[in-house]
Chain A
Amino acid sequence: QSALTQPASVSGSPGQSITISCTATSSNVGGYNSVSWYQQHPGKAPKLMIYDVSNRPSGVSDRFSGTKSGNTASLTISGLQAEDEADYYCSSYTSRRTWFGGGTKLTV
Chain B
Amino acid sequence: EVQLVESGGGLVQPGGSLRLSCAASGFTVSGSYMSWVRQPPGKGLEWLSVIYGGSYIDSADPVKGRFTISRDDSKNTLYLQMSGLRAEDTAVYYCVRDFNDYYFGYWGQGTLVTVSS
Q: Do these two chains really belong together in a complex? A: no
Could you tell me which A residues sit within 8 Å of B by CB distance? none
